[in-house]
Amino acid sequence: MLNVNTIGQYIPGNSFIHRLDPRTKFFSLLVAVFLVFFLDNLLFLGFLLFGVILVTFLAGIKPKMFWQALKPVVFILVLALILQLFFTPGEKLITLGPLKITREGLVNSGIVFLRLVVMLLSAYLLTATTSPTELTNGLESLLKPFGRFGLPYGEIALMLTIALRFIPTLTAEAERLIKAQESRGADFNTRGFSNKAKMMLPLIIPLFINAFKRADELAVAMEARGYRIGAPRGKLKPLKFAAKDYLFLFLNFLLTVLFVILKLWGGFPAKF
């Protein structure tokens, strides 16, 4: 197995965050997403990012590991920054030929960057500290109330978990194909976007073929273990909130209330 670290990859551990109930982590992710879109202040978002980074250290996740997971979306981050930086109207600060950097563009690019990093880091924390079984059970428990409306919550939870866990699988498969091509003389370190795109094209077909094979193998393995759609499933370890979960949820509640009060009551300027 190649050493792949990406969003969707579970990293075994025994940290405080690892031991939290998966529903607690889901609620925390929802809180982070809410605050990311509710706040429009660089200072607020900076504090929020600091809090998420603190939780990352509590989980025993090293910065290098998160950077490895972030690398596939660096292009999207840079593109979002460029669009906000150069194409936001406002008070002009710097002119670079036909392009201009405005004060509003500078602020908006910082806000977009912080929002994306907080969301990515929060999602990475959830998948890195929660095993596939816990992830499925947590989702199923949260969606269970909608079962009275005919929602197949068990199947939806399993489907979302499998889709999420396929990200590191496909990443590992792509890395394996790249290593195989390099052993045959291919150079994937060539410069230029067009050249790199040409080098990647031959990988697309075998990557999809292998992905379908993996999906078929997974379906056969699930059937061999007695999985049936709609059939009731027991739990080896039923989910149960502990004192640490209530404490963590209370801290999330306090953080949310604090940020809402500061923004609505003008504790800091609406825009930094």
**pLDDT tens by residue, 76-111:** 888 888 888 888 887 787 777 777 888 888 888 889
* DSSP line for 176-229: HHHHHHHHTT--TT-SSHHHHHHHHHHHHHHHHHHHHHHHHHHHHHHHHTT--T
- Domains of the chain, residue spans: 22-154+241-264
Are the CB atoms for 81 and 112 separated by under 8 Å?
yes
Q: What is the pLDDT of residue 251?
A: 94
Inform me whether the pLDDT recorded for 2 exceeds 50.
Answer: no
Q: What is the pLDDT of residue 17?
A: 93
Q: What is the pLDDT of residue 270?
A: 45
**pLDDT tens by residue, 41-63:** 888 899 999 999 999 999 988 88
Higher pLDDT, 87 or 256: 256
210 phi/psi in degrees, rounded to 5 = -65, -35
Report which DSSP code applies to 7. Answer: T
Inform me whether the pLDDT recorded for 158 exceeds 60.
Answer: yes
pTM here is 0.77
Higher pLDDT, 157 or 45: 45
Are the CB atoms for 234 and 12 separated by under 8 Å?
no
Cα 271 to Cα 262: distance, rounded to the nearest angstrom? 12
Q: What is the pLDDT of residue 247?
A: 95
**pLDDT tens by residue, 113-150:** 999 999 989 998 998 999 888 888 888 888 888 888 88
